[in-house]
A = this chain, B = another copy of it.
Amino acid sequence: MTAAFLANNLWVLLCGLFVFMMTIAVGLLEVGELGQRVVVSLVKTILITGLAVLVMAIVGFNTAFAPTLGGVIGNPLYGAGLFLGGFSPGLSDSWWSVTGAGLRTGTYFLFETAFAAVTLALVGVIALHKMKLSAFAIYSVVYFVLIWALPAAWIWNPSGWLAKLGMVDFAGGLVVHGAAGAAGLGIVWQIWREEKARGLKVSPPVHYQVNPGWLTVAILLLWVGWFGFNPGSVLAFNDEAIIVVETTFVAAAAAMVSTSLTAFLVTSELFNPLYVVNGILMGLIVITPVAGFVSPGSALILGLLCGPIFVYAEKLVGRAKWLSDPVGLFPGHLVGGIFGVLMIAFFAQNQFATGSGFPGLPNGLLFGGGVAAVKQLGIEVLGIGAAVVAVFVLSHLTVRVLAALMKGITTNYGDADGVAATPGASATLA
């Protein structure tokens, strides 16, 4: 490999490893916000991690990233991706869509598999304490083969129909965060259907019980993970990758301050750990789809906008009686992810996008993009609509089928659904 190829593969592999840690970090975030009683979270995120690797290695990497069938879905039988090439993978072949940076199949596989896993972990926060773990495990398989793969195949796969239209989404404001929100809505609707059938008038909430140690480890791992998530999404180690480190970290820091202060204005409580942590997350989410297209200055502005958006969105979601969203999937990931995607049409600067591999992306409206920027906005809106609807429908259909087969997807709340260990309890091996 040439020097650049060596650096690119080394960078993206290591970034993939950092992202790989984020799935389990989401489980630790749940425990950090909701207390040790939600230990099923941890088994859930370990399972997601393993299932992602296995299902993506068999066929899910193909359905997302192999040359598409008509722009809709990757060819599941593409040789280099099916069972990762089986018994004779091309040792020194780059994956077809990233030959420019010389990324080997294994490099790109690890990176994208980690993304698929963490997306499902985000979906999973909505299933917490409510959905049977066995149902969620089966849902996972469908998710990695089909539900995660579609937006990826449409937008990140260069042969996808939205990519061909000119849609961009740098590190997954829509493909990860928005789609996680849409998939979560599909599940939460079914949960509410079952809750209503039991005669409930309000979806029982999961109460907060902050565990500062795990909350801290979670935010640390997530922040480190995002170092892989965004800078790694340049899919090369170049000058732009280093700029993305700046935009990502600055947005997170600015959002921490802005969210803490907004929450203080609303609640008079200073330094509530939940808002400090959610502020960081909101900054990281909002910058995700634009991190490789904007300047550090724009990242600072975007970070400062996060506080009011998150606090207001959380208040709105909190009014809905038919869902509980304790870890903030909807105000954080759904709203933040989509907001960030829309900001592409305002803050993008072509010079940065070129470094990220998108030399065709026009400047945003705030940087003189004019008509081209408005057109880009239209494309992004179309893409958001298409992906959100498709993911929501597929997710909901999947849980409807599961509900029919398994007599409902919900647990008897409070019950740990097939998980042997509850905290403090003793599990015995046979």
A: residues with CB less than 8 A from B are: 1-4, 6-7, 9-11, 13-14, 17, 20-21, 24, 27-28, 31, 36, 39, 42-43, 45-47, 49-54, 57-58, 83-89, 91-92, 104-107, 109-110, 133-134, 137, 207-217, 219-220, 223-224, 227, 237-240, 242-243, 245-246, 249-250, 252-254, 256-257, 263, 266-267, 269-274, 276-277, 279-280, 295-298, 300, 314-315, 318, 349, 351-352, 355, 367, 418-421, 423-430
Contacts and interface: CB of A to CB of B under 8 A. Distances in A.
A218 to B, nearest CB: 11
27 contacts: A1-B238, A7-B10, A28-B217, A31-B212, A39-B213, A42-B213, A47-B256, A50-B253, A54-B300, A57-B250, A83-B297, A83-B300, A85-B295, A85-B297, A91-B240, A110-B246, A134-B271, A137-B271, A208-B428, A209-B427, A210-B420, A210-B425, A210-B426, A212-B421, A217-B217, A272-B427, A315-B430
A242 B352 CA distance: 29
Contacts of A1: 7, 238-239
Of all A-B residue pairs in the complex, the 4 with the closest CB atoms, nearest first, are: A3-B3, A53-B253, A84-B296, A210-B421
A424 to B, nearest CB: 8
A267 B223 CA distance: 39
B14 A14 contact: yes
Nearest to A416: B271
A2 to B, nearest CB: 7
Where chain A touches its partner, the secondary structure class is: helix
B212 A43 contact: yes
Contacts of A7: 1, 3, 6-7, 10
B227 A28 contact: no
A352 B91 contact: yes
Given A215-B42, A272-B421, A246 B84 contact: yes
Nearest to A275: B429
Given A10-B11, A49-B223, A91-B355, 16 more contacts: A3-B3, A6-B7, A21-B220, A43-B212, A45-B216, A46-B219, A50-B252, A51-B253, A57-B249, A57-B253, A83-B297, A87-B349, A208-B427, A269-B420, A271-B418, A272-B420
Contacts of A267: 430
B237 A6 contact: yes
A31 to B, nearest CB: 6
Nearest to A23: B220
Copies of this chain:
3
Contacts of A314: 429
A216 B24 contact: yes
B46 A216 contact: yes
A274 B420 contact: yes
A9 B253 CA distance: 23
B214 A213 contact: yes
Contacts of A277: 46
Contacts of A212: 31, 36, 39, 42-43, 421, 423
B106 A50 contact: no
Given A86-B295, A91-B355, A253-B50, A9 B242 contact: yes
B50 A280 contact: yes
